[in-house]
């Protein structure tokens, strides 16, 4: 599988790395909801959405140079997490505790 990134970073990019597309990011919103629904069905009480330490959503939060609906202004950079959390709430009927881990550091 080819490595993916949300935005170009000359210090971290690997030679074969490609940027994840807006369409792939939109599909992830539904994938997060599907996985959360499954977690609730098998008995989990909560999910933890990672937004730290280089995880994809963390990259998007810092993607001020990315163009399109998931980059640039803060509203766009938070689009994936806002949409994913809304879809998770809808898919689980609000029955799961939702937690996020957010990095407070910006390089």
Per-residue pLDDT tens digits for 10-63: 777 677 788 999 999 999 999 999 999 999 999 999 999 999 888 899 999 989
> Does some domain include residue 2?
no
pLDDT at site 71: 96
pLDDT at site 11: 73
Helices (H) and strands (E) in the chain, counts: 4, 4
Q: Residue 107: pLDDT band by 50, 70, 90 thresholds? A: low
Q: Please give the sequence-ordered ranges of beta strands (E in DSSP) within the chain, or none if there are none.
A: 4-5, 18-19, 46-51, 97-102
> Does some domain include residue 30?
yes
Least confident of 15-19, 75-79, 82-86, 97-101: 15-19
Alpha carbon distance 51, 22 (integer Å): 18
Task: Write the burial class of residue 39 (CB in 10 Å: 0-12 exposed, 13-18 middle, 19+ buried).
Answer: middle
- Residue 39 domain boundaries: 21-102
**Token pair of 95 as six digits:** 């029955």
pLDDT at site 81: 96
pLDDT at site 17: 81
How many domains does the chain contain in total?
A: 1
> Does some domain include residue 34?
yes
């Amino acid at each position: 599988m080819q490595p993916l990134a949300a935005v170009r970073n000359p210090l971290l990019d690997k030679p074969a790395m490609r940027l994840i597309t807006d369409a792939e990011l939109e599909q992830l919103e539904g994938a997060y909801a599907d996985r959360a629904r499954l977690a609730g069905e098998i008995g989990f009480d909560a999910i933890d959405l990672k937004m730290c330490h280089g995880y994809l959503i963390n990259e998007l939060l810092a993607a001020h140079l990315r163009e399109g609906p998931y980059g640039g202004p803060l509203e766009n950079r938070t689009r994936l997490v806002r949409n994913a959390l809304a879809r998770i709430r809808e898919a689980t009927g609000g029955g799961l505790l939702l937690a996020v881990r957010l990095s407070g550091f910006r390089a």
